Chains A and B, each alone.
Chain A
Amino acid sequence: QVQLQESGPGLVKPSETLSLTCTVSGDSINRYYWSWIRQPPGKGLEWIGYVHYSGTTNHNPSLKSRVSISVDTSKSQISLKLTSVTAADTAVYYCARLKGLRPLGNNYYHALDVWGQGTTVTVSS
């Protein structure tokens, strides 16, 4: 059974870089897309982006050039970096597996079928 575990500093200073890692166990990282989603305190969910094991990425344009998502297949880890953070980046950060669930032509329809427990990041001086 696949499990995802997020980890990283719980406190980051304004203007610095938030760095998180998601460790995948119980399945190969080399088969799926992997995503990051966040949830500010008391608020809803926000899509951050995804990475494929091949290195292909896609991210939310609202985060502009601040976000970087990468994969380390040798460690079965997905990383998230968010630069120039502000208090608005305070949130619970989730990683999730994007699994192909239904064939669509030469591709698949992907959905977030497994989520990590999330890690809380506070941006404060």
Chain B
Amino acid sequence: DIVMTQSPLSLPVTPGEPASISCRSSQSLLHSSGHIFLDWYLQKPGQSPQLLIYMGSNRASGVPDRFSGSGSGTDFTLKISRVEADDVGVYYCMQTLQTRTFGQGTKVEIK
């Protein structure tokens, strides 16, 4: 199994400031197609998860452009350029190269 490790597990943020979450995989997520097989999801309090980013860096429909995904090989990052109060929740990365596995989640909360 591909193990996904996120850091930090808890991230206090200040509205208007940037934030960054790291996700590392135990194997490269580079597919033979040349694309990265990694998604990012946000689970807001009391809600189901929602898709933010797919294929490493593609924003899902309706996702604000303050969210961006990057990375290669085994190291990936989700960045929020300017955090808003509505961005609180738990962020998960998930690899899709093999049987899908999620990271532990990073809880983002307002300071």
A residues bordering B, Cβ < 8 Å? Answer: 37, 44-47, 58, 60-62, 94, 101-102, 104-105, 109-113, 115-118
Contact = CB atoms under 8 A, between A and B. Distances in A.
Interface string B15-48: 0000000000000000101010101010100001
B39 A47 contact: no
Contacts of B33: 104-105
A21 B92 CA distance: 25
B52 to A, nearest CB: 10
B54 A116 contact: no
A111 B39 contact: yes
B50 interface: yes
B55 A109 contact: yes
Interface of B: 1, 31, 33, 35, 37, 39, 41, 43, 48-51, 54-55, 58, 60-61, 92, 94, 96, 99-105
A94 B48 contact: yes
Contact of B58 (A58, A101, A117): A101
A4 B48 CA distance: 11
A112 B41 contact: yes
27 contacts: A44-B105, A45-B41, A45-B43, A45-B92, A45-B102, A47-B100, A47-B101, A47-B102, A101-B58, A101-B60, A102-B54, A104-B31, A104-B33, A104-B35, A109-B35, A111-B39, A111-B54, A111-B55, A111-B60, A111-B96, A112-B39, A112-B51, A115-B48, A115-B49, A116-B48, A117-B48, A118-B48
